[in-house]
Chain A
């Protein structure tokens, strides 16, 4: 029975392949494919976030990893062994539930010890492991409390300790911070990240909160309609989105639809109706496609009363002119909406509020020049 307790993940990094490999997994509910032929590799020791709008299939995928749903097709390999046909209790994987699912009839210690008892661990070791877990999540002194005598944050930590107690090869977390208020969420994010690094564990987190995914994850897989749209590091995801949908879903973006007018190596000139020619040197080449969009993040757009003094023919800068229509004050930054000349489009620009009294702030109705670098533009197929 003792072999039901998996060895710590750190020892498993030795072989080269991914720890968890998801191969062409399909899950249908009726006629709807919740997960539609999805493949993904997750490395040992990685903090992986599954991000997506509600109903994109991310929770279904997580439940298939835990064993609560069986895939209709495809394989789920953990250390090269297909775990798809295994029942939840046979998998060296544990899950932290969104509702925490703490056993209300058991104390904090009883909840943490539950999985260890089932694994047939000797009593002495259970006591030690429980004490270790309680210390890990800083719940000393609360061992005998029942879940209903704990605060939300404490309950979250019991759920985490219970899921970690069996030393799972992979820890699955379903919206782990969803039920916490904002301040607590930020500190818990750091704790969770710190814990994962220290224990060298592999985490797979499902979340709909992109800030959470960005802060914590090594890599993010963005799901839409049962498929992975992009798998990348937070920075790549934000700076080099591979599709219009990703660019719009992760963060805020200005999107100009046009046609490729000139292609010169990595340099593009895109003709946007009503706006003119936009220059772009995108990180990714939408090869062979003529109908494209130029995407630029609001914080990469600069505003000034006069256009910058530069060579008019300089192809590395895009200059647009317009009138400030609206200002959204967000504290740390202000979001300006600029109606571009010709009324064909608007442009959003985020400007950091670097001074308390900003004499240079632009009022509504101000004529303004907006400019951004061609290097900051991304060209995406429509």
Chain B
């Protein structure tokens, strides 16, 4: 009985969907399955085991790199979100100022700039400034990289908002700052959250810029994994990757549930 509505979907659609999903998720599924591999070799199946997970949790260097990556991602994503949102607001609202188009264009440049160039130029800057390379240089570099992504996301949401909303808030007694905080900010909050998550994942994922700007004692997870892989792939890598995939999935589900919950709560808000 439940298949009745599905009957309307043509076979072609189902096949296309299945192929598309397989293309996206098959490699990840294989990765997850092989993370439970008991064998010493990545490519040979030796039965189910949690051995490599245990191995990972005993691997101090790998754990440190993981925490380093999470810290860099969290701090840089937060910085990028604040800066990126401010830039988006300035670019959308400041119709008066000269060179707005130029600024807008310049903001998009890092999106298409090869990471190698960004990494190299940041390295040269840090060397010139005499900054000691480590956690903060990587974090600043990642902020530079991810800020423009946040701006693009927030800007598109701001552009779709009715300018009348902020005017209505001012008309009803808000000064411009309050109008922004009480009307605009709640309405662009989903875009800001999406921007933060994108920045977080981009930072977690980055190898190139991190390897240019890092220093001793600030090895991020991608750098660590890359250096391990050069010596031969250990199934432990699969375990780490599976954990990352799992936590990102949980994060996304939680975020979407939170946004659904908050909009539902608003709907039942007391008249006051």
Contacts and interface: CB of A to CB of B under 8 A. Distances in A.
A66 B272 contact: no
Contact of B271 (A97, A103, A127, A162): A127
A88 B266 contact: no
The 4 closest A-B pairs by CB, nearest first: A115-B172, A118-B173, A101-B164, A109-B271
Interface string B167-189: 11111111110110001001100
B95 interface: no
Interface in B138-178: 162, 164-165, 167-176, 178
Given A98-B164, A113-B271, A115-B171, 14 more contacts: A66-B167, A95-B171, A97-B167, A100-B164, A101-B165, A105-B183, A107-B271, A109-B271, A109-B272, A118-B174, A118-B178, A123-B272, A144-B271, A146-B266
12 contacts: A66-B167, A87-B175, A89-B173, A98-B164, A102-B168, A103-B169, A105-B183, A109-B271, A115-B171, A115-B173, A127-B271, A144-B268
A109 B266 CA distance: 12
A196 to B, nearest CB: 19
Interface string B67-109: 0000000000000000000000000000000000000000000
A68 interface: yes
A146 B267 contact: yes
A118 B172 contact: yes
Instruction: Classify chain A: how many residues form its interface, as a range.
Output: 35 or more
Interface in A104-149: 104-107, 109-110, 113-115, 118-119, 123, 126-127, 130, 143-144, 146
B269 interface: yes
A307 B253 CA distance: 86
A54 interface: no
Contact of B162 (A101, A110, A143): A101
A99 interface: yes
Contacts of B269: 106-107, 110, 144
Contacts of B187: 104-105
B172 A110 contact: no
A115 B168 CA distance: 9
Contact of B164 (A97, A106, A123, A130): A97
Contacts of A277: none
Interface of A: 4, 66-68, 87-89, 93-95, 97-107, 109-110, 113-115, 118-119, 123, 126-127, 130, 143-144, 146, 162-163, 166
Interface in B217-272: 266-269, 271-272
Contact of B172 (A94, A107, A123, A143): A94
Interface residues of B, number: 24
A340 B23 CA distance: 80
A69 to B, nearest CB: 11
A105 B172 contact: no
Nearest to A130: B271
Given A104-B187, A127-B272, A94 B169 contact: no
B267 A107 contact: yes
B74 to A, nearest CB: 27
B267 A144 contact: yes
A107 B265 CA distance: 11
A166 B167 CA distance: 16
Contact of A87 (B170, B172, B183): B170
